[in-house]
Chains A and B, each alone.
Chain A
Amino acid sequence: MSQELDSEQVSYSRRILEALKIDPVLFSLLIILSTIGAVLLYSAGGSDTALMTRQAIRLSVAFVLLVVVANIPLRLLKKISIVAYLVGILLLLAVMFFGEIGKGAQRWLDLGFLRFQPSEILKLAVPLVVAAYLSNRILPVGWKDLIVSVVLVMIPVLLIARQPDLGTAILVGSAGFFVLFLAGVRWRIMLVIGVMLSAMAPILWKVALHDYQRARILTLLDPESDPLGSGYHIIQSKIAIGSGGVYGKGWLNGTQSQLDFIPERSTDFIFSVFGEEFGFLGSVLLIGLYLVIIYRGLYIAASSDDNFGRLLAGALSLTFFVYLFVNTGMVTGMLPVVGVPLPLISYGGTSMVTLMMGFGLIMSIRAAKRFWTR
């Protein structure tokens, strides 16, 4: 009797979620992850609820946007993708000419009532437009389509890298290239591009990178060479994570984090706080949680029944992975320090909103499937 009631309740809430076009699995994983984030922010913020509260407000806004995006029909998304892309490019150009300069980079656009980074739009618009374009073409991708797509990706990437915002440029670039990869660019072609890129690397090193970006990469190779500057971040972050051990020092007990040794500890370096306070076990669980989210996204991509959905959901899930990999690689001293947050946990509104809207797209793709079995 009671069992029957339970299952009825479950199916009732499931029906609500389905009506809202929400994937219950992905949705609950996201809720768990952002709750962990809020709890961690309480610790990183020095046992103060200020950061946590503000983050919670942003999270609610982001979740609402997720539902809104999930309810846009996939066919409409495909149609407006080019518009979103062009608007994004125009805004990037506007930033270049009228943008505000903060912390040495020109990224912000001030509309009077609202300040935002147009580069965030491109994080979604680039995979959207490339997926829309390639889904109408014959796959695997031929040379002509390849060139068109590469141009579509590289225009915003170069504009963003110029700001300079290496982190976002990497994220936008990888989102675009994942679509191409999934659309079946031949291995031979990828090999050729790979060789060309590595041949160009010394030139890019000299021309494309700013002094401070070069310094960060060099610092990675030898953190001791710059212990007061970016090397300091890496050294302190490694000490924090390493001293966490197997079980961690416990929530609110991270001495490194609490004593303010870790710079940017509530934003880009929040994983150091997590690693110190929850240890190796906690880190494995957290990364495991991320992995399940990524795999759920890839599964939705594989089960979608048109190419646009497959390409888009796949690319967005893989981009989410890039966030995770670049951030954890950076705080553990494997990758250079580029400004990429730990997704859904780092303090900050813009990336959070974009990420949630991305998951909204994935859910819209899932909802578009006519016969959904489990």
Chain B
Amino acid sequence: MSQRVQLKDDYLESRLIRRRLVLSAVFVLILIVTVLIRLYVLQINEYEHFTTLSESNRVRIKALPPTRGLIFDRNGVVMADNLPSYRLEIVHEQVDDIDLTLQRLSRYIEFSEQDLKRFKQASSRRRPFESIPLKLNLDDKEVARLAVNLHELDGVEINARLTRNYPQGEHAVHALGYVSRIDVKDLNEVDEVDYAGTSHIGKLGLEKYYESELHGSVGLQQVEVNARGRTLRVLSETPPVPGNNLYLTIDSNLQKAAEEAFADYTGSVVAIDPRNGEILALVSMPIFDPNLFVNGISYANYNALRDSPTRPLFNRALSGQYPPGSTTKPFYGLAGLETSTISAGKKVFCRGFYRLPNEERKYRDWKKEGHGHMDMDGAITQSCDIYFYDLAYNLGIDRMSEFMYQFGFGEKTKIDSTGERPGIMPSRDWKRKAQGMIWFPGETLITGIGQGAMLVTPLQLANSTAALSQKGARYKPHLVRAIESSQTDIIREMTPEIVGNYEMKREQNWQHIHDAMVNVVHGLRGTAQGIRRGLKYKVAGKTGTAQVFGIAQEEEYDEETVAEKLRDHALFISYAPAEDPHIAVAVIVENGGHGSSVAAPIARKVMDVFFQGAS
């Protein structure tokens, strides 16, 4: 300590710091002089130049919005394009009194509260010399009335701009999504510079997911304007880069056929090519016209869509979660064989109900009198519940959920669209987290027939069926097959992506399940044998009927007396041709009753159109 005091020389140190302080003062002076020289250059040497820019001829930069990329189906049919339409736009800087101008305008055309609200929102975010749309899609009469009176409306412009259009109307709306007027929330999420001049943005579905591909980049024009802000001449121009075009995996014919097959039912169909995950049809019924949303839907129209009991805005294919019912049986059957819990030939006696050891409660079969002795083939073809209660009891919930995860149950498929939900594959862990309770053995049984807490989306069900048809190889489902660059002629093809690759322990196990599923359609006692007539190809399938509400013990379910809203959902999963599957289809018909009578025929219609087109 004392040594340090000796070593620390106050006089030398203070001299050192003072020297450095003087040195910094010199540095500061030099840098300040640099700034002053810079100011001298700007304000005295280049004064003329900048004065010209500032006063006499103002140089403005105008944003040129890019043309949005087109969307085609897999055969080149146009699904989304752009049409020129007239818009009423206002440049704030040229308007003296905006309220007065709006009041005058209201004499010539009508605009809604909503139009006005959007206009004001946009005004606060754009520069005063940018034109801000007030009303889109003017008709000829409106254009004529405005054009005649434009002289007294300074700052008001009628511009022809390209606007999104869906030539197929309501068809494939849930696959495509739609664009709508950009709002403040959207502007916070995008690069504001790149969207200067852009009036629409993808709000849902593909249009949203591929926004960055479809949008393109903004162009700009340096223009000289007079004191009133009117453009005198264009000095230079960087043209906008149009967005890229999307080629879908969707076949619009198949899509339309699937939509028509539904008639008045609500529900969903998803058709996938199991060999690569390409979505061939993605249907959610009912459908609605996306063109309504492009130019700002009216409150009346919107309320009607939103409040309709059939919920047309709800994308059932991706967001609807349903109990899968008996369509899970082939998967559980395979789980039983693969874990050697049961052999295909082992018979279980079905007397119409099942009891857990030491429990009073009866778990019933859909067939009151029972199916008798059932092996794996019979249990799947005739959809015997007792067989699968017993199997589930022997498997246990842990092995069941472990196996089902490998086929994609309980997680999002990560499809290239928005709004997908993950469904639920129940497990002990899930129940502890979701409900804070332990797992009960009875729940294992009802999970074994796809009831209880288990939920799937139609997309998930189709994709799992596709994976089953491929002996466990599961692809990521996708809606876009290729992206065509607007600049070069380069087409980027999407490569199929394997996301799950379950390997069969014994090929024979899969064969048993597959044969049983073929028997569901082609066997004499198969639950879907009703669609067999006239089939030119072989189909493997499984019906399902999912309870919407529980039936108490000993009570009977009577279709006639149950309100339609509470009727069972009808389900059907299938793939074809059975020997070399090219298509996998999952159908869910809400409150449709039986899978065999309602859902299976829809799947058949889809497949018929598919194979007609292929041949």
Contact partner, B36, options A184, A232, A284, Cβ 8 Å: A284
The segment out of B40-48, B160-168, B549-557, B576-584 that lies at the interface is B40-48
Q: Does A294 contact B (CB under 8 A)?
A: yes
Q: Does B233 contact A (CB under 8 A)?
A: no
CA distance A318 to B4 in the complex (A): 30
Q: For chain B, give the interface size range.
A: 35 or more
Which chain B positions have C-beta within 8 A of A275?
Answer: 39, 42-43
Q: Does B380 contact A (CB under 8 A)?
A: no
> In the complex, what's the smallest C-beta–C-beta distance from A178 to chain B, in angstroms?
8
Q: By the criterion CB–CB under 8 Å, are A246 and B16 in contact?
A: no
Q: By the criterion CB–CB under 8 Å, are B31 and A228 in contact?
A: no
Q: By the criterion CB–CB under 8 Å, are A241 and B21 in contact?
A: no
Please judge, given known A-B contacts A227-B220, A298-B25, A329-B35, whether A243 and B53 are in contact too, CB under 8 Å: yes
Q: Does B24 contact A (CB under 8 A)?
A: yes
By CB atoms of chain A within 10 A, which of B8, B34, B42, B128 has the most?
A: B42
Q: By the criterion CB–CB under 8 Å, are B35 and A242 in contact?
A: no
Q: By the criterion CB–CB under 8 Å, are A228 and B25 in contact?
A: no
Q: Does A133 contact B (CB under 8 A)?
A: no
Q: By the criterion CB–CB under 8 Å, are A182 and B24 in contact?
A: yes
Q: For chain A, give the interface size range.
A: 35 or more
Please judge, given known A-B contacts A181-B24, A228-B193, A287-B36, whether A280 and B43 are in contact too, CB under 8 Å: yes
By CB atoms of chain A within 10 A, which of B4, B7, B28, B47 has the most?
A: B28
A-B contact number at CB 8 A: 137
Q: By the criterion CB–CB under 8 Å, are B42 and A332 in contact?
A: yes
* Nearest A residue (CB) for B28: A321
Please judge, given known A-B contacts A228-B63, A294-B28, A318-B28, whether A239 and B20 are in contact too, CB under 8 Å: no
CA distance A284 to B37 in the complex (A): 10
> In the complex, what's the smallest C-beta–C-beta distance from A9 to chain B, in angstroms?
34
CA distance A167 to B32 in the complex (A): 19
Which chain A positions have C-beta within 8 A of B51?
Answer: 242-243, 245
Q: Does B17 contact A (CB under 8 A)?
A: yes
Q: Does A346 contact B (CB under 8 A)?
A: no
A51-87: contact bitstring with B at CB < 8 Å (1 yes, 0 no)?
Answer: 0000000000000000000000000000000000000
Q: By the criterion CB–CB under 8 Å, are B44 and A245 in contact?
A: yes
* Nearest A residue (CB) for B31: A325
Q: By the criterion CB–CB under 8 Å, are B21 and A182 in contact?
A: yes
Which chain B positions have C-beta within 8 A of A260?
Answer: 127-128
* Nearest A residue (CB) for B16: A184
Contact partner, B50, options A140, A239, A295, Cβ 8 Å: A239
Q: By the criterion CB–CB under 8 Å, are B128 and A183 in contact?
A: no
Q: Does B196 contact A (CB under 8 A)?
A: yes
Q: By the criterion CB–CB under 8 Å, are B25 and A242 in contact?
A: no
Do most interface residues of chain B lie in helix, strand or loop, or is the interface mixed?
Answer: helix
Q: Does A291 contact B (CB under 8 A)?
A: yes
Q: Does B560 contact A (CB under 8 A)?
A: no
Which chain A positions have C-beta within 8 A of B29?
Answer: 291
Which chain B positions have C-beta within 8 A of A334?
Answer: 34-35, 38
Which residues of A (227-261) have their CB < 8 Å from a CB of B?
227-229, 232, 238-246, 255-256, 259-260
Q: Does B503 contact A (CB under 8 A)?
A: no
Please judge, given known A-B contacts A255-B54, A280-B43, whether A314 and B21 are in contact too, CB under 8 Å: yes
Q: Give residues in B with beta carbon < 8 Å to A.
A: 4, 7-8, 13-14, 16-18, 20-22, 24-25, 28-29, 31-32, 34-36, 38-40, 42-44, 46-47, 49-51, 53-55, 61, 63, 93, 127-128, 193, 196, 218, 220, 222
List 10 tightest A-B contacts by C-beta distance, closest first: A242-B50, A243-B54, A280-B43, A229-B193, A242-B42, A243-B50, A184-B16, A139-B13, A182-B20, A243-B51
Q: Please, could you name 20 A-B residue pairs with CB atoms under 8 Å apart, sorted by A?
A: A138-B8, A181-B20, A238-B50, A241-B43, A242-B46, A242-B47, A242-B50, A275-B43, A279-B43, A280-B44, A283-B43, A301-B17, A307-B13, A310-B17, A310-B18, A314-B17, A318-B24, A321-B28, A329-B35, A334-B35
Q: Give residues in A with beta carbon < 8 Å to B.
A: 138-140, 178, 181-184, 226-229, 232, 238-246, 255-256, 259-260, 275, 279-280, 283-284, 287, 290-291, 294-295, 298, 301-302, 305, 307, 310-311, 314, 318, 321, 325, 328-329, 332, 334
Query: Contacts A228-B196, A284-B39, A295-B28 given; 17 further ones with Cβ under 8 A?
Result: A138-B13, A139-B16, A178-B24, A227-B222, A228-B193, A242-B54, A246-B43, A256-B54, A259-B128, A260-B127, A279-B43, A283-B36, A291-B29, A298-B21, A310-B14, A334-B34, A334-B38
